[in-house]
Structure 1
């Protein structure tokens, strides 16, 4: 689905990849409904874009609040007249600790934001998208959604759920007007650690990443480019592409490889 003249909803629009997705979509002459918990961050996104409320409208919403999410489509349609697309980008990571040490309230939060938040948005918007002659849903998973990262096991489980959910949704909607894409980003230079309220040991040793970290703007360009080509699956970054191939060739070797890399990183 081409972005031009479309109305697209983007979650996590206040910073990182979400903000860059909004800016790129607006540059491509789409109109954007930005969803975020942070009102000031949404206002900053609009300020950077340099557009009025007719082009970008921010909505302060917790995507885990189903009642609030259920009311969103009507609000977006009332403002823009229609809705053509949904990009589920909002997400948080967990503390870098083993499952055995991770409290259940934090486990539930990670699952609620990453999986149920995505599910809430789709359940709310899909009936509206199905009415359009052309529409698109993009769900942001992670490379942690297809290969395990010790210390991020619950986050990976949530993103793996997003992956399978998205692929199932694609199959269900294959004969409809709604296209579906799953995205697996690698290391992106965002504030997800701070936004998640955790400290990431991987941020302390950039050399471990082998210089593979992408900027949010570069990631957004790949994601929107894939959406416009109606891609089924998008891997973002050299690290994601490398690990995707390695995991397909030898899952056990790939898992052991990541485990060793994580141990080296966490020692620094």
Structure 2
């Protein structure tokens, strides 16, 4: 049932790091890349889907703060009831299985895709409308990442401060599958204005930052943690916010994360090792719009 976290190849990590360094430090190339991206946004603006008041409020909050926290049901996604049932079926065995010395454990791909309402939830039109309006361009969807953060107090991987490097902007929806308190590994973030200040002072490009360095850069008490009961949802742009998964110390944390970026991301992501049967299942019943959101590597041979 349990699989280790997928590992990006050293070559891919190096290539992504070099690309990020170049776009950050070589001003003419950065201007050219940003100009092309703004042109894509300008051309797509007339095609952005209309939003209702609740959707527009969420987009506005993301633009202003980079994060919005509340009950999953507040997103009013039609298939959320089926999603919760599917997540309960996956979370039970995941919570009870021996972690095998790992800090982060995940279900097998077979378990993840046993009920397609889980993986395909992030392709619902209401969600795509929100994401597309925030990004300003058509979205790429990376699926569902169900994970268990083991309460071993270790500060490893994404438990360290960082900003995501996938793209200029992303949308991630992180949902608690169990009750999460301060001892249970909550999502923590530095508010946007203070993130921008810290990033500038630290000359930050990518990678992990020591906790002591971040704390020196922000006002006392400004770090925010997203605690809450099961089905609390954190909607965030982790490319803009310094954030981390706080190391759980008293109890494991169970969560699922859904991720979207533009279709011209800054970082090349390594796709899971889907089989042809997995891909046929994922693509089944999808509309043309939904199929267009899948990464290029998820086509059927």
Same fold (TM over 0.5): no
* Structure with greater proportional helix content: 1
Using structure 2 for the length normalisation, give the TM-score: 0.20
Using structure 1 for the length normalisation, give the TM-score: 0.22
Q: Which has the higher contact order (CA 8 A, sep 6+)?
A: 2
